[in-house]
């Protein structure tokens, strides 16, 4: 990709650790099937580089937008949530701001809302900067925190010619439908230690249930391997090779070319009919993405899990959302239920 003509936010100003010692913030009232929104807000509020920026009020000090600005709204919310002495607050400003995206009182897919919110923040950061080249638009504070780039490489099976293209992303959706697993059998293992400790708090012995947070199922590693697995392009899907001058059989492969600072993985829990794929997916506390990177890409960091967003129920329009977020050495949790992770966030 071409170098940006302008850096819209200096990367050296992004702090990955909490800059101010904060108390665990206020909870959020459920205002009528708004648990999906509350869970998304909690995950964003406890993303340290984003929270640091919003707590500084740097955006509102320089914002010149008239009317709706998602960054200004999130700035007010994060400051309220982390500074109030109240046990819980009502996120009405966020609900009003996003009312065009969902209907109040109706359950929605939390990942859709997460993507909508982060995209709206990205657009807010680009207000007045839309004339900049596309590479410059990827240098906002939002894209530098959540954004990365995928490389799509197509290789002709005849002449071995290679064609590369790049696509920006704010999260990575992972297919889990093709993997085995049952939500009823228990899986011993070394992964998920953070969730194990949280589950112990969420379900003390007197309230224990037969559900285990680590059950026999597919894994994030298996889904990532499928994500970067080469796809054969043949028949009607043949690739037109410029060197061969005709349609040929080719191999297409996605790899992660540039890593985000905060890496969000969405497990595709719902099919086209909104029915849920309910099996549990084994996931690590530490995520090594080197096997899924483009050759020659910068060495990625070892990511640490900091937020888990969970759905309990049979479809995206029903059930309950809740989340676990890591805050310093503590875990901030919404009301726990027995279910499976939908969104995983790593720093």
d(CA 139, CA 6): 8
What angle in degrees, to the nearest 10, is found between the helix axes of 70-83 and 48-55?
90
Of the chain, the end-to-end C-alpha distance in Å amounts to 25
> What is the dihedral angle through the alpha carbons of 1, 294, 236, 242, rounded to the nearest 10 degrees?
50
Counts of helices then strands in the chain (DSSP H, E): 10, 17
Token pair 């640490």 is found at: 304
Distance CA 180, CA 182 (A): 7
51: nearest Cα among 308, 289, 341, 307? 307
Helices (H), 203-345: 220-227
Distances (CA, A) of 72 to 78, 116, 121, 258: 10, 16, 9, 28
**Backbone conformation region of residue 190, classed left if phi is above 0, alpha if psi is from -120 to 50, else beta:** alpha
Smallest CA-to-CA distance from 176 within 117, 111, 118 is with 111
Q: Among the options 35, 43, 72, 125, which is catalytic? A: 35
CA distance 334 to 39: 8
Between CA 75 and CA 81, with CA 79 as vertex, the angle to 5 degrees is: 115
35 given a catalytic annotation? yes
CA torsion, ordered 40, 45, 49, 55, to nearest 10 deg: 140
Is there a catalytic annotation at residue 320?
A: yes
Q: Which of 77, 143, 320, 342 is catalytic?
A: 320
Separation between Cα atoms, residue 166 and residue 152, nearest integer Å: 6
Catalytic residues: 35, 320
């Amino acid at each position: 990709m071409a170098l940006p003509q302008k850096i819209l936010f200096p990367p050296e100003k992004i702090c990955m650790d909490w800059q101010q010692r904060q108390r665990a913030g206020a909870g959020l009232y459920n205002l009528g099937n708004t648990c999906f929104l509350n869970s998304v807000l909690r995950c964003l509020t406890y993303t340290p580089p984003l929270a640091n920026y919003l707590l500084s009020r740097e955006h509102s000090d320089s914002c010149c937008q008239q009317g709706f600005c998602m960054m200004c709204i999130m700035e007010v919310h994060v400051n309220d949530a982390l500074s109030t002495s109240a046990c819980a607050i009502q996120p009405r400003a966020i609900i009003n701001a996003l009312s065009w995206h969902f209907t109040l009182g109706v359950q929605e897919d939390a990942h859709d809302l997460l993507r909508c919110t982060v995209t709206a923040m990205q657009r807010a950061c680009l207000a007045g900067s839309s004339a900049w080249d596309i590479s410059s638009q990827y240098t906002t504070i939002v894209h530098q925190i959540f954004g990365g780039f995928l490389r799509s490489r197509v290789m002709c099976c005849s002449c071995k010619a290679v064609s590369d293209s790049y696509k920006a992303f704010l999260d990575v959706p992972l297919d889990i439908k093709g993997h085995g697993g049952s939500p009823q059998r228990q899986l011993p293992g070394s992964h998920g230690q953070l969730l194990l400790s949280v589950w112990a708090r969420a379900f003390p012995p007197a309230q224990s249930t037969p559900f285990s947070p680590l059950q026999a199922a597919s894994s994030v590693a298996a889904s990532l391997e499928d994500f970067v697995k080469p796809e054969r392009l043949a028949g009607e899907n043949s690739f037109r090779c410029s060197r061969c001058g005709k349609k040929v059989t080719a191999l297409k492969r996605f790899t992660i070319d540039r890593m985000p600072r905060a890496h969000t993985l969405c497990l595709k829990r719902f099919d086209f009919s909104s029915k849920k794929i309910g099996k549990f997916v084994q996931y690590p506390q530490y995520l090594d993405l080197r096997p899924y990177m483009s050759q020659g890409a910068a060495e990625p960091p070892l990511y640490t899990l900091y937020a888990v967003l969970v759905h309990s129920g049979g479809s995206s329009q029903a059930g309950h959302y809740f989340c676990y977020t890591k805050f310093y050495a503590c875990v901030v949790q919404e009301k726990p239920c027995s279910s499976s992770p939908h969104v995983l966030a790593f720093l």
